[in-house]
């Protein structure tokens, strides 16, 4: 199948399966989104959504957050994992937001990525879901499916992001990256994968995978 036909099929199928998509992390503004995304590193959205209401009850903006101690933040977020690093990151970035940006989250990749504990993926999610910019945050599901669909070589997430942005129309990025995540979780997981349920990989998957399963 030609690349252009793959892209059309993928977008069409995902639009049929997921006509409406909502960000999986609960938040009310760019600050609570930033904190939620930071907490989601090496954790699950479900677990983060259970803990953030407890944290935001005490502090839902940087001014309130720095009134908590790092220890207090750590105790609240402990069930999420990596609480040592994440609690320090939350406290320190909140302090910087107050000192440099009057408590506002900057609408800038460059400034976001300078913040403690904020990498490119976190910045991409905030720019997309917080500010509405067309970005393509790459998580493990997208990385896996881009490889399975023969759209990227799977070498690293940076290459996957470059390929995704090159292949898919920019106007689709914000919706599409969420659709691919939802599809990956439901039909094309890393573990317990049943290709017979994975209609997109059956249609557009790389030859080595399809041959392995006799498709």
pLDDT tens column, 156-187: 999 999 999 999 999 999 999 999 999 999 99
Average pLDDT taken over every residue of the chain: 97
- String of DSSP letters for the chain: --HHHHHHHHHHHHHHH-SS---SS--SSHHHHHHHHHHTTTS-HHHHHHHHHHHHHH-SSHHHHTTS-HHHHHHHHGGGS-HHHHHHHHHHHHHHHHHHHTTPPPS-HHHHHHSTT--HHHHHHIIIIIT--------HHHHHHHHHTTSS--S-HHHHHHHHHHHS-GGGHHHHHHHHHHHHHHHS-SSS--GGG-HHHHHH--HHHHHHTT-
- Provide the domain count of the chain: 2
Domain termination residue (choose one: 94, 110, 130): 130
Structural domain including 149 reads 3-21+137-212
Residues serving a catalytic function are 121, 139
Q: Residue range 94-114: average pLDDT?
A: 98
CATH code: domain of residue 109 = 1.10.340.30
Domain termination residue (choose one: 115, 130, 145): 130
Predicted structure pTM score:
0.92
């Amino acid at each position: 199948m030609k690349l252009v036909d793959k892209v059309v099929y993928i977008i069409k199928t995902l639009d049929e399966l997921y006509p409406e998509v909502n960000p999986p992390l609960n938040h009310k503004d760019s600050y609570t989104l930033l904190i939620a995304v930071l907490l989601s590193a090496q954790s699950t959205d479900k677990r983060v959504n259970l803990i953030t209401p407890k944290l935001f009850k005490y502090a839902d903006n940087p001014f309130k957050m720095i009134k908590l101690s790092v220890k207090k933040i750590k105790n609240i977020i402990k069930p999420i994992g990596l609480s040592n690093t994440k609690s320090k990151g939350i406290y320190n970035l909140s302090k910087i937001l107050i000192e440099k940006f009057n408590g506002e989250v900057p609408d800038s990749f460059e400034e976001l990525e300078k913040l403690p504990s904020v990498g490119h993926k976190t910045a991409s999610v905030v720019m997309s879901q917080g500010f509405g910019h067309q970005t393509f945050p790459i998580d493990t599901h997208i990385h896996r499916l881009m490889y399975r669909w023969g759209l990227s070589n799977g070498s690293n997430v940076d290459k996957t992001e470059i390929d995704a942005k090159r292949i898919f129309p920019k106007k689709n990025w914000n919706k599409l990256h969420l659709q691919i995540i939802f599809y990956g979780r439901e039909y094309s997981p890393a573990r317990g994968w049943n290709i017979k349920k994975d209609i997109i990989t059956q249609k557009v998957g790389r030859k080595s995978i399809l041959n392995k399963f006799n498709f």
